[in-house]
Amino acid sequence: MSPLPFSLQLVNALATLLLLSSFAMLSQRRVVSLVNLLALQGTVLFLATLLLAWRTGQHHLYVSAALTLALKVCFLPWLLHRLIRKLGVYWDAEPLLNISGTMLLGVLIVVFSFGLAQPIVALASTATRSGIGIAIAVILLAFLTMITRRKATSQLIGFLSMENGLFFGAMSATYGMPMIVELGVALDVLVAMLVLGVFFFQIREQFDSLDLHHLESLKEGK
Amino acid sequence: MEFILLLGTPLAGAITLGLIGNRRWAAEANSLFSLGTFLAACALTVRVIGAGNLLVGREQFFIDPFNVFLVTLTAFVGLTTSLFSRPYMRIETERGRITPGRLRLYHSMYQLFMATMLIALTTNNLGLMWVAMEAATLSTVLLVTLYRTPASLEAGWKYFILCGVGIAQALFGTMLVYFAAEKVVGAEGVTALLWTHLFVVKGQLEPVVLSLAFVFLLVGYGTKVGLAPLHNWLPDAHAEGPTPISAVLSGLLLNVAIYAVVRCKVLVEGSLQTQLPSRMLMGFGLLSVVLAAFFLWRQRDIKRLFAYSSIEHMGIIAFAFGIGGPIANFAALLHMTVHSLTKSAIFFAVGHATQKAGTQLIADIRGLVTLSPTVGWGLMIGTLAILGMPPFGLFASEFLILTTAMREQPWATPILLLALGVAFAAIFGRVQPMVFGDSNVKRLPHSPALLPVFAHLGLVLMLGVFIPPYLAHWYRAAALLIGGH
């Protein structure tokens, strides 16, 4: 097997960075650091998209790189930092599962993801197909982050990280989705953030906190 | 032209209503825009009857027998709900449950919600369908939390996060479909997510990838359908939001979500040549029916009660699509129509009943029929219809589903019958004392809008006795398109 060209090796290195940042998110309790990690993921995605666009010569990838830069590297982290400052949530509470346990679970998830990706990788013809397993791992790790957190902001960051994983998956498997779909998804993410911004202030006005244990009164048989 | 009007009217409505704010006639404007949408839908239907299937907007949008009747149904229920919401929201404002400023948000988002559902129904692009489904969630999150009570905030958060995560799975599924399609349709990828193109080549799509894709799509859109065990958001969102929103969530959004599932199922089944998608739909459907029937017993809140009833009916529809074949599909389509009409009619009646009693607790609403016979009888007749009593349309569709199940999947019939019986006892036992007996309800400052209730129930009655030939023709055409077996 011939060695991979340098640019693709770089993309693989970026993919590894993405996975590492997912693990970092899993263990991080400071909300501000979580946002920074999210911004890091955005930057990694931006660089990977740019490299791929240059390498494959697909013009629509430049557009989605620009979109990533604007939305995920600049706007979302800025908005989240502002939200955190205004709402004064700096620390998440103790996670529901202790950190070493979560990490172990995370490792198992990565193994499982690569197993799940196997049939897709076998069929893929893109040069970046090895990223598919990592994308699935990022999605599932983000899911785990959401499950183990109590604060609404941390859950939201997990949600956005899941979207990053999906984006990277589309990139690795098919060099991105059709333009119109990518634009639509970006619009949805943007609107979701704005809606949640409003929503967080509503929660806080009502409970004086963003801790989700206040939101546990709607149980069956109440 | 009709098509541009169909999508343009609610979008224009969303912007206009956002701009004019809480003027006194905002509610009337809301109804007017809904009427415009409905007229456009009717015009479109007439045109499709004459000219057959339609592809517009560079093939990004299309109309075929499966979605045309859902478009008309969505526009119709959208119109009647806007008529119901006028006096309902006025009373809520006067009672101080919502500020006039929030009415602006309500009206604008209502129109936007209609637009997103119509886009999801008419788009030919599986990716755009995803975008529209997500947009439908986003436009209703702030409507669920309109009252800003702790419970409504919790319901809104649950709705957002569960449906958001669910729908992220569906995006992954869509991606996998695109991945498989790109191999067949070509690397340009412009047409690789267009349903009509995929339908043509469905036999050549890679089965392993598509079966994986279907799992993600079913879990994703299934969350929005409210299939058990992914149904947790549904009762909360229905119970805590304003009643007109409960009516459109239950009557329309669930239909749109199951429409998305079935569209995907057609492709996947064509590729797989196995029964996997059907089995999964049947399994999830049956589980929802049974779980919902037993949860019905534990409900004390009238809106939660009917929310669980929606889960049950969505389960029946999923099960019927799972059986497949022309008759079961026909029954499922009919059931989608009559459930949507009946459930929204019930929510209209329930809305006024809860306003009269000042509570949603079943135990505190008594003797509706003595003070306001129309609300009481509306609720009673609606309940009988939703429980599948003859001569209403739900009897016809459930009968068809049960007889088909007896022939095709005999093992499932006793389970279905048992669940239907349990549901009947639970719902009837709770609604009966609400309607009859000593009264404790008050008069309302504005006369309730009961025309929508009886219009819907009349239609359901008609569909039970007689299905107009052109409607039956559509149903049959759509049932053939969906296939199975």
For chain A, say whether B148 makes contact (Cβ under 8 Å): yes
**Structural domain includes residue B308:** yes
Partner residue facing A184 (CB), from B128, B148, B240: B128
Q: How many structural domains is chain B composed of?
A: 1
CB–CB contact B165 A146 (8 Å): yes
Does the N-terminal peptide bond of residue B391 adopt cis geometry, omega within 30 degrees of 0? yes
From first to last of its 485 residues, chain B has per-residue pLDDT tens of: 788 889 999 999 999 888 887 777 888 999 999 999 999 999 998 888 778 788 888 888 999 888 888 999 999 999 999 999 999 998 988 888 888 888 889 999 999 999 999 999 999 999 999 999 999 999 999 899 898 888 888 899 889 988 988 888 999 999 899 988 888 877 565 678 889 888 888 888 888 889 989 999 999 999 999 998 888 899 999 999 999 999 999 999 999 999 999 999 999 988 887 888 999 999 999 999 999 999 999 899 999 999 999 999 999 999 999 998 899 999 999 999 999 999 999 999 999 899 888 889 988 888 888 878 888 999 999 999 999 988 899 999 999 999 999 999 899 999 999 999 999 999 999 999 888 877 777 777 777 778 899 999 999 999 988 888 888 888 898 898 888 76
For chain A, say whether B133 makes contact (Cβ under 8 Å): no
CB–CB contact B153 A215 (8 Å): yes
pTM of the model: 0.92
Task: Look at residue A1 and tell me whether its pLDDT is greater than 60.
Answer: no
| Torsional sign, CA B381, B387, B388, B390 | negative
Q: How far is A101 from chain B (nearest CA, A)?
A: 23
* Under 8 Å between Cβ of B235 and B264: no
Q: How far is B476 from chain A (nearest CA, A)?
A: 32
Q: Which of A148, A180, A182, A201 is the best residue to mutate to test the B interface, defined by the most B CB atoms within 10 Å of its own CB?
A: A180
Q: How confident is the model at residue A220 (pLDDT cuts 50, 70, 90)?
A: low
**Structural domain includes residue B396:** yes
**Structural domain includes residue A214:** no
Task: Look at residue A210 and tell me whether its pLDDT is greater than 70.
Answer: no
Say what the alpha-carbon torsion angle B456, B458, B460, B463 is, to the nearest 10 degrees: -140
Residues of chain A contacting B145 with CB distance shorter than 8 Å:
199, 202
**Structural domain includes residue B27:** no
CB–CB contact A188 B134 (8 Å): yes
* Under 8 Å between Cβ of B460 and B334: no
Q: How far is B193 from chain A (nearest CA, A)?
A: 8
Partner residue facing A143 (CB), from B165, B183, B236: B165
CB–CB contact A120 B178 (8 Å): no
**Structural domain includes residue B284:** no
Q: Looking at chain A, how many residues does it have? A: 222
**Structural domain includes residue A52:** yes
Q: Average model confidence (pLDDT) for chain A?
A: 84
> Considering only residues 152 to 171 of chain B, which have any Cβ-Cβ distance to chain A shorter than 8 Å?
153-158, 160-161, 164-165, 168, 171
**Structural domain includes residue B93:** no
Residues of chain B contacting A202 with CB distance shorter than 8 Å:
145, 148, 153
Residue A117 is predicted with a pLDDT of 87
Task: Look at residue A222 and tell me whether its pLDDT is greater than 50.
Answer: no
CB–CB contact B171 A143 (8 Å): no
Partner residue facing A184 (CB), from B131, B160, B179: B131
Partner residue facing B138 (CB), from A119, A188, A218: A188
Angle at B152 between CA B292 and CA B376, to 5 degrees: 60
* Under 8 Å between Cβ of B66 and B482: yes
Query: Tokens 């449906």 belong to which residue?
Result: B163
**Structural domain includes residue B366:** yes
CB–CB contact B176 A120 (8 Å): yes
Q: Is A91 helix (H, G, I), strand (E, B) or coil?
A: strand
pLDDT digits (tens, 9 = 90+) for B410-451: 999 999 999 999 999 999 999 998 888 777 777 777 777 788
The total of other beta-carbon atoms located within 10 Å of residue B95's CB is: 11
A28: left (phi over 0), alpha (psi -120 to 50) or beta: beta
Residues of chain B contacting A207 with CB distance shorter than 8 Å:
150, 153
For chain A, say whether B344 makes contact (Cβ under 8 Å): no
Q: Is B54 helix (H, G, I), strand (E, B) or coil?
A: strand
Angle at A202 between CA A200 and CA A207, to 5 degrees: 95
Residues of chain A contacting B209 with CB distance shorter than 8 Å:
119-120, 123
The total of other beta-carbon atoms located within 10 Å of residue B420's CB is: 18
**Structural domain includes residue B209:** no
Residues of chain B contacting A217 with CB distance shorter than 8 Å:
150-151, 154
Partner residue facing B179 (CB), from A173, A188, A206: A173
Residue B221 is predicted with a pLDDT of 95
CB–CB contact A214 B138 (8 Å): no
Q: How many structural domains is chain A composed of?
A: 1
For chain A, say whether B172 makes contact (Cβ under 8 Å): yes
CB–CB contact A191 B138 (8 Å): yes
* Under 8 Å between Cβ of B354 and B368: no
In three-state form (DSSP H/G/I as H, E/B as E, the rest C), the secondary structure along B191-205 is CCCEHHHHHHCHHHC
Residue A209 is predicted with a pLDDT of 67
For chain A, say whether B151 makes contact (Cβ under 8 Å): yes
Which amino acid is present at B483? G
Phi, psi of B56 (to 5 degrees): -135, 165
Residue A221 is predicted with a pLDDT of 41
Comparing alpha-carbon positions, the chain A residue that sits nearest to B139 is A195
CB–CB contact A123 B183 (8 Å): yes
Q: Which domain holds residue A187?
A: 9-208
Q: Which domain holds residue B457?
A: 289-485
Q: How far is A135 from chain B (nearest CA, A)?
A: 10
Comparing alpha-carbon positions, the chain A residue that sits nearest to B173 is A166
**Structural domain includes residue B453:** yes
Q: Is A151 helix (H, G, I), strand (E, B) or coil?
A: strand
CB–CB contact A217 B176 (8 Å): no
